[in-house]
Amino acid sequence: MSIMMPAADQAVLDRRGEIVAALRAIVPGEGVIDSAAEMLAYESDGLTAYRQPPMVVVLPDTTEQVAKVLKYCHGQGIKVVPRGSGTSLSGGALPLADGVLLGLGKFKRIREIDFDNRVVVTEPGVTNLAISQAVAHAGFYYAPDPSSQIACSIGGNVAENSGGVHCLKYGMTTNNVLGCEIVLMNGEILRIGGKAAENAGYDLMGIITGSEGLLGVITEITVRILQKPETARALMVGFAEVEAAGECVARIIGAGIIPGGMEMMDKPAIHAAEAFVHAGYPLDVEALLIIELDGPSIEVDELINRVETIAKGCGSVTLQISNSEAERNLFWAGRKAAFPAVGRISPDYLCMDGTIPRGALPKALARIRELSEKYGLGVANVFHAGDGNLHPLILYDANKPGEIEKAEAFGADILRCCVELGGVLTGEHGVGIEKRDLMPEMFTEIDLNQQQRLKCAFDAQGLLNPGKVFPTLHRCAELGRVHVHAGKLAFPDIPRF
């Protein structure tokens, strides 16, 4: 495991008893956990290769308690790591040995359902799925649907700007949140946005979304809800070559069709999924596309026909169209279970998350295959093909010495390849610790400094979730210095009018 976390501050560790007592004074009873055994549950998130018990866990249940905890830690120079449900795949919620782990699990209440304004006001610990369930009786749902939706919290979704199979058509978290209550590291409570379509001033909601717990602790969120489409149907299309599947994706988009979801799996992923859920996936194809169309049935039927024609024109070798909800769900069952399915064929796996331009799909896959041979590790690929978001699952065995390091190096090479192809390091899982040291592949020091200056505007002492996202931490005072390029003529050599 190659990623180093900031060194623990011995002076803080020496004061642990006193710190625990101070936190108990703010959050009474079971809300403060300091026994090693009980803290085990918090030592890692979905990136299980990394584990670190925190100094202490605190589980507040009011915004005021969150504010007091942060204010206290701010005053004492103590680091804080926010945590929702701990399903992050990038290590965003990994604790620090000298840090307080602040869990939002007790913020479990939906505060308001407002059908007329088409919003839900919720506490951050509510799961993604619970929001859709709470409004389902009126035909509404919350659109972003990460595969982890039964477990992951809406607070975590906002922090990670999570996506899901339907974000091709309905957007990521950032396109579906309107406002929040956030507590800054100094304990200040702010309300940003609300039920209106836009917030006043700079778009702070836009910057908080996807900030990976580095800017503030979110204690309330206002999300948009949508009416469920009248109906949905899916096609399952097999191709003898990945290139043909990639071409099919491009042609569908090129024809002006934006499917509700468009997912691709490669052969190893198809086999793993089929063995696990028996969805009837074709086993002799190199690539499988699942394409879902949603809307009124008259529209869905028409678009199914158009997509079918395109798929056949791209040389599809198998093609099935769902004729019932049961069948549609079966098509999806394998895709949705792809991660656990791969978990059955390999002792461990690393899930990567780069994005590339759709057109580069075949190139990226070829490169991943080469790398797989070079590293001697298997890989199964699932993609959100519609938006070019790849999830290569690198298979390894943590019990074999050196394999995790090999798997990490393989993963890093894949992400470098994504950037080379004009893409980015992460499409939806976040940078966290996992991709932190790869940030310079995509950004210059100037780019990263500008991002860190923004961090300074929220948390000048860098106490909130340090060690995540940024490969090197600078002091805010140093970042804020303006270099005056003196001795130059004013505006030399620029055409004037």
Partner 1 sequence: MDTLKVRDAKDVEEVVRAAIAGEQPLEIIGHGTKRAIGHPMATNAVLDVSALNAVTSYEPNELIITVEAGAPLADVQSLIDAKNQQFAFEPMDSAVLLGAAAAGTIGGMIGAGLAGPRRIRAGGARDHLLGAHAVSGFGDSFKTGGRVVKNVTGYDLCKLLTGSWGTLAVMTEVTIKVMPKPESERTLVLHALDEVTANKAMTAALGSPFDVSGAAHLPAAALRSGAEAFGSLAGAGQGVTLVRLEGIAASVAHRAGSLSQALSSYGTVDSLADAASAAVWSALRDVRPFAANGTLGASPVWRIVCPPAVGGTLGQALARETGGEVIYDWGGGLIWAAVPPGADAQAALVRKQVEAIGGHATLLRASDEVRRNVDVFQPQPAGLAALGERVRASFDPKSILNRGRMKRGGAA
Ligand X SMILES: Cc1cc2nc3c(=O)[nH]c(=O)nc-3n(C[C@H](O)[C@H](O)[C@H](O)COP(=O)(O)OP(=O)(O)OC[C@H]3O[C@@H](n4cnc5c(N)ncnc54)[C@H](O)[C@@H]3O)c2cc1C
Q: Which residues bind ligand X (CB under 6 A)?
A: 45-46, 81-89, 92-93, 104, 124, 146-148, 152-153, 155-157, 159-160, 162-164, 212-213, 217-218, 339, 428-429, 465
| Residues 334-363 close enough to bind partner 1 by CB under 8 A | 355-359
Q: Is 283 helix (H, G, I), strand (E, B) or coil?
A: coil
Instruction: Region of 234 please: left (phi>0), alpha (psi -120 to 50) or beta.
Output: beta
- Nearest CA to 4 out of 84, 97, 103 is that of 97
> Residue 159 binds what, of partner 1, ligand X, none (CB under 5 to 8 Å, by partner type)?
ligand X
Contact flags string 234-273 toward partner 1, x per CB under 8 A: ----------------xx-xx-xxx---------------
> Residue 171 binds what, of partner 1, ligand X, none (CB under 5 to 8 Å, by partner type)?
partner 1
Q: For residue 70, what is the enclosing H or E element? A: helix 63-76
> Residue 146 binds what, of ligand X, partner 1, none (CB under 5 to 8 Å, by partner type)?
ligand X
Distance CA 59, CA 30 (A): 8
| 1 part of the interface to partner 1, by CB under 8 A | no
> Residue 92 binds what, of partner 1, ligand X, none (CB under 5 to 8 Å, by partner type)?
ligand X
Distance CA 127, CA 154 (A): 6
> Residue 45 binds what, of ligand X, partner 1, none (CB under 5 to 8 Å, by partner type)?
ligand X
> For residues 85 and 176, which CB has a smaller minimum distance to ligand X in the complex?
85
Burial zone of 492 (CB within 10 Å; 0-12 exposed, 13-18 middle, 19+ buried): exposed
Distance CA 88, CA 82 (A): 12
| Residues 181-200 close enough to bind partner 1 by CB under 8 A | 184, 188-192, 194-200
- What does the DSSP assignment read for 316-382? -SEEEE--SHHHHHHHHHHHHTHHHHHHHHSSEEEE---B--GGGHHHHHHHHHHHHHHHT--EEEE
> Residue 401 binds what, of partner 1, ligand X, none (CB under 5 to 8 Å, by partner type)?
none
- In Å, the largest CA–CA distance within the chain is 74
> Residue 184 binds what, of partner 1, ligand X, none (CB under 5 to 8 Å, by partner type)?
partner 1
> Residue 181 binds what, of partner 1, ligand X, none (CB under 5 to 8 Å, by partner type)?
none
- Nearest CA to 89 out of 212, 220, 177 is that of 212
- Nearest CA to 209 out of 149, 162, 146, 166 is that of 162
> For residues 81 and 192, which CB has a smaller minimum distance to ligand X in the complex?
81
| 488 part of the interface to partner 1, by CB under 8 A | yes
- Nearest CA to 100 out of 34, 159, 38 is that of 34
Which residue in this structure is represented by tokens 């079918």? 308
> For residues 31 and 210, which CB has a smaller minimum distance to partner 1 in the complex?
210
Contact flags string 20-59 toward partner 1, x per CB under 8 A: ----------------------------------------
Token representation of residue 89: 């795949």
| Residues 399-458 close enough to bind partner 1 by CB under 8 A | 422-431, 435, 439, 442-444, 446-451, 453-458
As measured in angstroms, the least distance from the Cβ of 326 to ligand X is: 23
> For residues 75 and 254, which CB has a smaller minimum distance to partner 1 in the complex?
254
